[in-house]
Structure 1
């Protein structure tokens, strides 16, 4: 049974592997990005719920880069763990790799971070256990998550202060492939 006051990163680790079928493909014959996002959301839910012992919802998804295409017939493995916890939120890191069954070649296809929020039985946010960091890799991932969270907060602050119609902002547009024609 989990200690409700704290929990280890290991308590959040989830891995699953799925064979990519033709029904998962897009018009170019590669695995559809939307399908991959669905799998990522499922593993983020599983990791956060396993860690917190609560139902969890997706609050945000940070940076989804599709690094390599995934082919029909490849095995896709998703690995997830909680990298950071707040009061009711958890940042779940996800790594996606594909493996060609015939050649054994493994490709890193995606890494992403999902912010998940724990909910109680009434649907209200609820406190999550403290995160116990037990090795240097877990500490590095925690600090990376903290850096991403702070960068996101700084960006929001900058966006709130940015005047897109100021003379200097409109001057910057001349360096880009746009025409400003306001009447």
Structure 2
């Protein structure tokens, strides 16, 4: 068969090429979605690394300030413009909604579930960073609400960053705000989590 093809000039198909002779396109198989699948896994990995970094920084900072600063005088970082002082906050970020502790706990859990669903179609690195900031911040404050007093799902979040004339907050709050701002910017630029760009 190969000799006949050589004589008539018919090219012999390459082994394992998997090409469709009618369209020239490769047949369906792992190779078709390989690059996209690999890129998606890298973006999910980036999301998880950002979330882990935020969570560890938030958790370690809270453990440190509770051990060293709670029931002590505030530490002046930049005079009275920026101080470190421990506040137990049962509300949302920046001290809002103190009567809604259980509700806010379930909101944080819902945010985590939504991020997990979005991550399945995540191909954009900026979106991975933004969602990682949100995820790490949500886990950080959710840990406080579950494990700190006065009880499970009612725990008070530890806040300690106290700028002058502003609410006291923590690193998890900062990550959530930064992630939210980045998502707004990406949305205005038309960049979707799957990496496509749309224009209204």
Higher-Rg structure is 2
TM-score range, shorter chain: under 0.3
TM-score (norm 2): 0.24
TM-score (norm 1): 0.26
